Amino acid sequence: MKIAVFSTKAYDKDYLERYNTFGFKLTFYKVRLTEETAHFAKGHDAVCVFVNDQITAEVLEILKEDGVQMIALRCAGFNNVDLEKAMELKMPVLRVPAYSPHAVAEHALALILTLNRKTHKAYNRVRDMNFSLERLEGFDLYNKTVGVIGTGIIGSVFAKVVKSFGCRVIAFDVKENEELTAMGVEYASLEDLLPQCDIVSLHCPLLPSTYHLINKETLKLMKPGSMLINTSRGALVNTKHVIKALKSRHLGYLGMDVYEMEDKLFFRNLSEKIIEDDQIARLLAFPNVLITAHQAFFTDEALTQISKTTLNNVNEFANHLPLTNQVTF
């Protein structure tokens, strides 16, 4: 099997080559998969793509015409794939449903602790020999109420972590997790959850039903001064509405590892460029906003699991085995 790997970074190449025990021929491209770059995959049997690659109907048509037979996602999300078109073209789409839920859950906690205790600001102060504690005041997590929206694998791990801090945990999902309820996690509707929570953390997938789940109406329901954390998908949050909530002081803190327009920014060094995205510039101007560039997954354990599962997905397809991680429309 020949695999064209798009959106390649040095670590992608390192881990995929390290765990390529199947002997696949891997061709690495730094560019994203788009309509303009799709022909790079000509002569390959599969493409391996990441979160910001664009697997649209037009791209799929080009890939099919050039002989590509399947799509291997090295991520859990699949909102960037036209699944209906892929099914029509008989091109299976396989993903990595779980790589390291602990990596993402722990990063969400890191955002919470950093925003709360302002360790990033304290670090910079001390580097400048400023040992003042002024404006570094935080709050105890103990006894605070944390809302977990989405209690799949990652959300469940996060709920357990914050529960261990002595937090009261309220969850919202279409299906209750019995293990969490046995631990004392309460389930409530979104309308009942938001007003009670000091911290709200998003762990649900991006679907038509969850697009802009956090908007001006749901933000109004949130407790004044509360904290919003998003380590899931950028478009769960309406950025314009969140900026307004921050400006009005209704939203007290915002921690983001994802951003709905991140495909033009993240995974690249733009330090010498002029950023034309006014929304990200505005967010970065707030002292109570912390943004990381989609790094929640970025641990050795996660990269290992992503590589192993991605390559095994291709192997199943190549050997006509049941496709364990196929995404269906």
Cβ 88 vs Cβ 143: under 8 Å = no
Closest CA to 203 of 326, 102, 72: 102
User: What is d(CA 280, CA 240) in angstroms, rounded to the nearest whole number?
Assistant: 10
- Residue 102: C-alpha distances to residues 69, 110, 119, 158, 217 (Å): 33, 12, 22, 8, 31
Helix, strand, coil share (%) of the chain residues, nearest 5: 40, 15, 45
Q: What are phi and psi of 182, to 5 degrees?
A: -65, -25
Respond yes or no: is residue 249 known to be catalytic.
no
Active-site hit among 44, 107, 203, 233: 233
Catalytic residue among 107, 203, 241, 294: 294
Rounded Cα gap, residues 300 and 297, in angstroms: 9
Whole-angstrom Cα distance, residue 237 to residue 255? 12
Stated as kind and residue range, the H or E segment containing 47 is: strand 46-49
Respond yes or no: is residue 233 known to be catalytic. yes
Q: Is 36 a catalytic residue?
A: no
* Rounded-to-10 torsion of CA 201, 203, 207, 213: -10
| Sign of the alpha-carbon dihedral angle for 99, 102, 106, 108 | positive
Residue of 203, 241, 260, 262 marked catalytic: 262
Q: Which sequence positions are flagged as catalytic?
A: 233, 262, 294
